[in-house]
């Protein structure tokens, strides 16, 4: 009996240890699977891009020969106005630039014969660029909406190829209060309100005219009956008298 009990106890201990080992293995596998599921999948690396430098068109080469050393210049720009972080009032933004550096004859200008020339590309936010040809003349960006804006500028050649030297590209961020969209919205609201007011006046005038017309018609009808009544009474009396005479005859 004692031997049987000892054997049963030994079997129970072996079974318990085996069960504990299986449980720990299952927990380890579950934790590993959870970690694998939680970790994001590696994103594929972007495909490599190959850039190829193409030869300039012959027309551009001819223009470069006529320009002397301008294409080897290193123009530098500085945005004088507006200032970085400035807050401007109104929808018109005045731009003032300063050009310096190793210019080698580079100067923004427009040839009246060809309508081409060196110029500064002025880009407001993501809008199409505007060409600034004469830095001595004021340059304005109009109807600028209220909010935050960014101006980007860089010098360009007549065929719109930009200079890429250090200091050529500049940008500034600023705020606009009372911008173009807000003013346009107020103007539209005022115009709509004025139009509604005019429509009300016209409608009231039509109603008054209609009422006056109805009153005049009623007055005419009432006056016609009063004038016709005396003529009808004698006629009706004569007819009734003749009928009375016929009845007696």
Overall domain count for the chain: 2
CA 233 to chain centre: 82
User: What's the angle, vertex CA 38, arms to CA 34 and CA 40, rounded to 5?
Assistant: 145
Domain identity same for 173 and 209: no
Domain identity same for 172 and 201: no
Mean pLDDT of 161-183: 89
Query: Which residues fall within 8 angstroms of residue 100, CB to CB, at 6 or more apart?
Result: 75, 76, 78
**What CATH number is associated with residue 88?**
2.60.40.10
Is 48 contained in some domain? no
Is 112 contained in some domain? yes
Domain identity same for 123 and 195: no
Is 13 contained in some domain? no
Is 134 contained in some domain? yes
pLDDT tens string 103-155: 999 999 999 999 999 999 999 999 999 999 999 999 999 999 999 999 999 99
Is 34 contained in some domain? no
Q: Which two tokens stand for residue 130?
A: 């505007």
pLDDT tens string 203-234: 677 677 777 777 777 777 776 554 444 444 44
Max CA pair span of the chain: 163
Q: Which two tokens stand for residue 126?
A: 């993501």
- Whether the full predicted model's pTM is greater than 0.75, yes or no, is no
DSSP per-residue letters across the chain: -HHHHHHHHHHHHHHHHHHHHHHHHHHHHHHHHHHHHHSPPPPPPPPPP---PPPPPHHHHHHHHHTTTGGG-EEEEEEEESPTT-EEESS-EEEEEEEEEE-TT-----BTTTTB--EEEEEETTSPPEEE--TTS-EEE-SPPSEEEEEEEEEE-TTSPBP-STTS-EEEEEEEES-HHHHHHHHHHHHHHHHHHHHHHHHHHHHHHHHHHHHHHHHHHHHHHHHHHHHHHHHHHHHHHHHHHHHH-
Instruction: Answer for the pair 90, 82: CB distance below 8 angstroms, yes or no.
Output: no
Domain identity same for 96 and 75: yes
Domain identity same for 66 and 111: yes
Domain identity same for 96 and 198: no
Among the candidates 153, 178, 203, a domain finishes at 178
Domain identity same for 107 and 191: no
pLDDT tens string 24-58: 555 555 555 555 555 556 677 888 888 888 888 99
Domain identity same for 79 and 159: yes
Domain identity same for 122 and 199: no
Range of the domain at 144: 59-178
């Amino acid at each position: 009996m004692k031997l049987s009990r000892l054997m049963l106890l030994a079997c129970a201990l072996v079974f318990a240890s085996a069960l504990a080992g299986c449980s720990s293995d299952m927990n380890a596998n579950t934790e590993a699977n959870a970690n694998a599921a939680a970790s994001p999948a590696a994103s594929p690396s972007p495909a490599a891009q190959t850039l190829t430098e193409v030869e300039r068109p012959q027309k551009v080469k001819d223009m470069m020969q006529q320009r002397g050393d301008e294409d080897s210049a290193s123009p530098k720009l500085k945005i004088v106005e507006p200032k970085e972080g400035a807050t401007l009032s109104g929808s018109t933004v005045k731009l003032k630039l300063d050009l310096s550096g190793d210019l080698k004859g580079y100067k923004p200008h427009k040839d009246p014969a060809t309508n081409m020339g060196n110029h500064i590309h002025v880009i407001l936010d993501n809008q199409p660029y505007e060409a600034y040809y004469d830095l001595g003349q004021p340059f304005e960006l109009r109807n600028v909406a209220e909010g935050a804006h960014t101006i980007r500028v860089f010098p360009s050649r007549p065929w719109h190829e930009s200079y890429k030297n250090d200091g050529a590209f500049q940008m500034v961020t600023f705020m606009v209060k009372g911008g173009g969209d807000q003013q346009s919205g107020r103007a539209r609201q005022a115009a709509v309100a004025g139009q509604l007011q005019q429509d009300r006046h016209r409608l009231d005038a039509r109603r008054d005219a209609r009422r006056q017309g109805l009153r005049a018609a009623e007055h005419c009808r009432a006056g016609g009956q009063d004038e016709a009544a005396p003529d009808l009474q004698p006629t009706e009396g004569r007819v009734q008298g003749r009928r009375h005479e016929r009845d007696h005859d």
